[in-house]
């Protein structure tokens, strides 16, 4: 905690306290509240396609597209959604994809206690491992919001934080616009964020996301990008 207290003072000359906190909590490159990455190495023409908020009833439509192109992705699952749809969660693993932790109930972490945050990560980790057999090594914060206590919770579960290089806003944009947003953020090592669920909603309409994936994957492959899981992108020798 002492180290944290020193950071705002050190940055105080450049940023006001409020601006610093906003960056610390939401900034994609911030690791103030825990180790976190937002992109992979730039030396290989590879990117990672990631999905948050699943699994949902229509996740299999995305799996089918990925399977058709023979590409893997990483799914940051909410524990509560895994408990609602265990067969879908398992199908993701069986499809050769990576599973990450996206909390249990998708809360906003700011102003919550360290215990609350730790329990959210632990419950999701447990649900995912119980129903899929996979133990996540990556965590993506709900809404990208990090807070006090997250660093310790990540450390206890040995979870690395993952933000994104480009996010599709696929929950509100039309597919063509979502593809445009993602493609504009593409470069070697990019981590791309889409959503195969909508927080904890049952039967969410993810039609726009499915269509985004259908357009985006062949486009990336045509441009010569290799699609990899987050683990492979960040640790290519593993």
Nearest distance in Å: CB 143, Zn ion: 6
CA 174 – CA 170 distance, rounded (Å): 7
CA 105 – CA 99 distance, rounded (Å): 16
Report the relative pairing of strands 166-167 and 160-162 from DSSP bridges: unpaired
CB-nearer residue toward Zn ion: 109 or 148? 109
What is the DSSP code string of 156-175?
HHT-EEE--SEE--TTTS-H
CA 221 – CA 181 distance, rounded (Å): 17
Nearest distance in Å: CB 52, Zn ion: 4
Residue 222: active-site member:
no
Inter-residue contact 126 to 162 (CB < 8 Å): no
CB-nearer residue toward Zn ion: 195 or 232? 195
| Footprint on this chain of Zn ion (rule: CB under 5 A) | 52-53, 142
CB-nearer residue toward Zn ion: 52 or 211? 52
Nearest distance in Å: CB 65, Zn ion: 21
CB-nearer residue toward Zn ion: 37 or 46? 37
Give the DSSP H or E segment for 176: helix 175-184
CA 222 – CA 231 distance, rounded (Å): 23
CB-nearer residue toward Zn ion: 52 or 58? 52
Out of 53, 97, 195, 196, the active site residue is 195
Nearest distance in Å: CB 100, Zn ion: 11
Residue of 142, 139, 60, 80 whose CA lies nearest to 107: 142
User: Token digits for 212?
Assistant: 């985004």
H helices of 56-96, in order, are 59-69, 79-84, 86-94
Q: Specify which residues 138 forms β-bridges with.
A: 160
Nearest distance in Å: CB 75, Zn ion: 11
Which residues, in sequence order, are CB contacts of 203 under 8 Å at separation 6+? Answer: 56, 57
User: Token digits for 149?
Assistant: 């206590």
Q: Which residues are catalytic?
A: 52, 195
């Amino acid at each position: 905690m002492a180290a944290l207290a020193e950071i705002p003072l050190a940055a105080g000359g450049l940023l006001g306290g409020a601006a610093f906190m906003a960056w610390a909590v939401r900034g994609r490159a911030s690791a103030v509240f825990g180790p976190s990455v937002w992109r992979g190495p730039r030396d290989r023409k590879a990117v990672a396609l990631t999905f948050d908020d699943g699994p949902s009833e229509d996740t299999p439509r995305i799996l089918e597209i990925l399977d058709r192109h023979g590409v893997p992705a990483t799914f940051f699952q909410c524990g509560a959604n895994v408990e609602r749809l265990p067969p879908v969660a398992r199908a993701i693993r069986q499809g050769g994809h990576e599973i990450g932790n996206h909390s249990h109930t998708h809360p906003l972490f700011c102003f919550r206690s360290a215990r609350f945050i730790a329990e959210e990560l632990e419950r999701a980790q447990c649900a995912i491992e119980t129903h899929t057999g996979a133990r996540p090594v990556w965590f993506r914060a709900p809404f990208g919001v990090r807070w006090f206590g997250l660093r310790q919770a990540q450390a206890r579960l040995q979870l690395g934080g993952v933000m994104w290089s480009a996010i599709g806003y696929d929950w509100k944009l039309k597919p063509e616009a979502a593809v445009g947003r993602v493609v504009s953020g593409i470069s070697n090592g990019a981590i791309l964020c889409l959503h195969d669920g909508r927080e904890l909603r049952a039967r969410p309409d993810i039609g726009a996301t499915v269509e985004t994936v259908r357009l985006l994957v062949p486009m990336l492959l045509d441009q010569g990008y290799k699609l990899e899981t987050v683990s492979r992108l960040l640790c290519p020798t593993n």
